[in-house]
């Protein structure tokens, strides 16, 4: 399984799939049971070929819980990518659970995201332009602890450039928010416009030395066009559609099908 990649995508690049296991925890929390266990889902996703396990520890703890993080870190054999808001509470948890440890060569990752209590799911990217000073402080602390840092942002050139300005404090990656592209399902022209935004932001990011991920609302239906038209993306983080489809075809098949799409487009 690949844990490294060049900064630009092309025929030789092995694109990575990060499987988000949040919604396994969502089902568990609906009944406050011990099952289904998101850690078990992470293990199965890796066995199916996932290159990374992603989860989102939200302030409201609606799915992933604090006790899941040490269990995930112990079980995950690839890399762990934890999405979280840049709050004091979350920063402390990240330092406790994800800091680099002697004997473990891996650098686990934090992806900083915007978060609002009333939202059903993440509604937009982190506003790095407005909150640059806060993001700089948090990112510097993460990097000092041996934690890789990514920012989940909207495909806006100003946001990309603001992220690039944080390279000196450890920000080496951004994840572009693909929600608008996904929500244009069925409208080919609208999807095309969103792909232009994504492609433009992607080129700016790669030219500025950032590694590029994408995610939010991607499915096995809309992913092929995204992969074909925005080749700069080297990592996709996908969760809800994988877990939903797994109900019908199994987690192994749901993961393997997306790996095929991202690594063998066309």
Catalytic residue numbers? Answer: 56, 83, 216
Checking 222-225 for CB contacts under 8 A at 24+ apart, the result is: 222/181, 222/182, 222/185, 222/191, 223/258, 223/261, 223/262, 224/261, 224/265, 225/191, 225/195
Q: Where are the alpha helices (DSSP H) in 19-67?
A: 22-31, 38-47
What does the DSSP 8-state code read for residue 8? S
| CB of 245 closer than 8 Å to CB of 254 | yes
Report how far residue 152's alpha carbon sits from residue 159's, in angstroms, rounded to the nearest whole number.
10
Report how far residue 239's alpha carbon sits from residue 222's, in angstroms, rounded to the nearest whole number.
14
Report how far residue 112's alpha carbon sits from residue 138's, in angstroms, rounded to the nearest whole number.
9
Strand spans (E) along the chain: 16-20, 52-56, 80-84, 109-112, 148-153, 171-177, 211-215, 235-238
């Amino acid at each position: 399984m690949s844990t490294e990649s060049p900064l630009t995508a092309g025929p030789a690049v092995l694109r990575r799939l990060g499987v988000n296991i949040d919604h396994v925890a969502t089902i568990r929390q609906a009944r406050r049971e011990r099952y289904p266990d998101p850690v078990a889902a992470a293990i199965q996703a890796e066995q199916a070929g996932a290159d990374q396990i992603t989860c989102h520890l939200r302030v409201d703890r609606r799915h992933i819980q604090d006790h899941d993080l040490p269990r995930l870190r112990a079980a995950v054999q690839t890399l762990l990518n934890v999405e979280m808001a840049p709050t004091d509470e979350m920063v402390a948890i990240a330092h406790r659970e994800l800091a680099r440890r002697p004997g473990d060569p891996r650098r686990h990752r934090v992806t900083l995201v915007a978060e609002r209590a009333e939202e059903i799911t993440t509604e937009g990217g982190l506003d790095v332009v407005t909150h640059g000073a806060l993001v700089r402080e948090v990112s510097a602390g993460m990097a000092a602890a041996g934690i890789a840092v990514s920012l989940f942002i909207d495909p806006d050139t100003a946001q990309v450039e603001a992220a690039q300005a944080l390279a000196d404090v450890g920000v080496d990656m951004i994840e572009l928010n693909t929600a608008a592209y996904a929500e244009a399902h069925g409208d080919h022209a609208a999807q095309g416009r969103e792909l232009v935004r994504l492609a433009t932001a992607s080129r700016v990011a790669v030219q500025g030395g950032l590694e590029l991920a994408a995610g939010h609302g991607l499915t096995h239906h809309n992913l092929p066009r995204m992969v074909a038209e925005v080749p700069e993306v080297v990592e996709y983080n996908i969760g809800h559609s994988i877990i939903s489809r797994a109900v019908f075809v199994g987690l192994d098949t749901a993961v393997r099908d997306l790996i095929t799409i991202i690594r063998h487009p066309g």
